[in-house]
Chains A and B, each alone.
Chain A
């Protein structure tokens, strides 16, 4: 029961880990290059999700100061961090996609296994 209660309470983290594993598995095993890039994004997004979830405390509000009584604020630091992280992930995605475009021009396929076959035949 303890374990189940633990999982339900921390479902953000569980989902995040599941997404991370999905992302990593896809990135390593699927041969289509665009799928790899998407999987990389899923992996990064899962970590960002976990980061933000860490900053959340039960019953807290958005971290914008209002006058009045003392309110529990969610931790703004992870949010700031993942904004940076998202920018980084986007730039890596952009670069990866441009590489895929160039590779496509040479090999006419987006599938990594086919590319390896073409190369081994040369």
Chain B
């Protein structure tokens, strides 16, 4: 029983420990507290990689909390798909945190920066838990921790817009949680289990006796996770929340948090609910059509925005809809495309929000029309913005194309080419609102009017890492795609 056996639990616990120690350290030894969070992130990353190696060799790893076996104890499951998502979550969180180290001093009041670190650690820890857990009630608790810390890293800025946006997010998130809990009750009523594995087996049997309970539970889960993951038309909290938050929070929320809930919905539909449910009632059709509308409307709303971060937030709605389209198409290539998009969009949107953060840090400008000529003052930032926009549009050579490729192939394979047209139309709309910013930034005659503060090199380095990743993910796709294809072949 070495330490390595406890890795699944340690990944979550280490963040909570760091979260609690951080404010104490911040009071007396300021520099150490950031280092503590970073070391927690790096340690968790190392553990994830070690777990991935183990899972490659021995298959799925189950961890029982406290040694209590399910169905009485809480179980954590680590298989290659969950570890892939975990890897994306933790590495993107580490990257955003490095960016945040310099940016926060500019955006928040001094005394709350230590609390920000706490909330950040809680957020990452709870998300890791959501990915790893195999128990419905544990999922509920971790979802709530995630919701509170997500709202808190928005409201920590303490100005008018972000408080109100944070409250709206909290209320809608709480509504989602209420629906989720009711769904859990429905499932518990007919099976008496809360563990995914046991539920999967029992529900197949229970579906014959109580189909309506299970159907209600599935519908409630769609509403719950749809609200939290900003599926159209439940996205209304997202633009205010992501636009008014400090930049690292926006990057974190848009990049990682909403994806976790999409992943949780995927787990519900494929690991908890039995196959007979999806075969008999085409729930994925609903998700598919809502996602299709979401891609189009997200882009249309984004075109109308004048604030840079609001535009990026609406763009997130459109992009997360791709992931839901992958789930909704109910085909293994579509899931590969959707999950590849989780990785690509996490990096791209985080980088775009970071670029916006750099622009705001350096020049204080938030309106798009004031951005004319900023490319001369902040060249690396705007090149990063250009590459990020290229990935959003799906220009070949960036990772965005690969996910759209897979989604389009699977749409054709199941014989529904209309969704390819939806993907193409949304790519075009994405181009319509991203291109003017890029063009304006570089090509205007007049030089940028405001003064540009020099940007710390660490922030630029983060942007460069993002750019490299986007380009590499457009070409070197084999390891990720093979991993995803192997994972999904089990479900079909």
A 75-87 to B, binary, CB cutoff 8 A, 1 in contact else 0? 0001001001100
Checking B137, B164, B171, B188 against A40 with a beta-carbon cut-off of 8 angstroms, the contacting residue is B171
Max chain B CB contacts within 10 Å: which of A20, A96, A99, A119? Answer: A99
Q: With CB as the reference atom, state the residue of chain A lying closest to B183.
A: A47
B158 within 8 Å of A by Cβ?
Answer: yes
Max chain A CB contacts within 10 Å: which of B141, B152, B155, B188? Answer: B188
With contacts A20-B182, A50-B185 taken as known, whether A95 is within 8 angstroms of B137 at the C-beta atoms is no
Given A44-B174, A47-B182, A99-B163, 8 new contacts (CB under 8 A):
A27-B174, A47-B181, A47-B185, A50-B185, A51-B188, A85-B181, A95-B170, A106-B160
Total A-B pairs, Cβ < 8 A: 81
The residues in A between 12 and 30 inclusive whose CB is less than 8 angstroms from any CB of B are 20, 23-24, 27-28
The residues in B between 141 and 175 inclusive whose CB is less than 8 angstroms from any CB of A are 141, 144, 147-148, 151-152, 155, 158, 160-161, 163-164, 166-167, 170-171, 174-175
- Which residues of B have CB within 8 Å of A115? 164
Checking A99, A102, A107 against B170 with a beta-carbon cut-off of 8 angstroms, the contacting residue is A99
Contact, CB under 8 Å: A23 / B181: no
Give the distance to chain B from A98, nearest Cβ to Cβ, in Å. 9
Contact, CB under 8 Å: A43 / B185: no
Contact, CB under 8 Å: A96 / B167: yes
- Which residues of A have CB within 8 Å of B175? 24, 27-28, 40, 43
Is chain B's binding surface mostly helix, strand, loop or mixed?
helix
Interface size counted on chain B using CB atoms at 8 A: 29
B 170-212 to A, binary, CB cutoff 8 A, 1 in contact else 0? 1100110111011001001100001000000000000000000
Checking B148, B164, B179, B188 against A78 with a beta-carbon cut-off of 8 angstroms, the contacting residue is B188
B140 within 8 Å of A by Cβ?
Answer: yes
Please measure, in the bound complex, the distance between the C-alpha atom of A27 and the C-alpha atom of B171, giving whole angstroms: 8
A71 within 8 Å of B by Cβ?
Answer: no
Give the distance to chain B from A49, nearest Cβ to Cβ, in Å. 10
The residues in B between 87 and 146 inclusive whose CB is less than 8 angstroms from any CB of A are 137, 140-141, 144
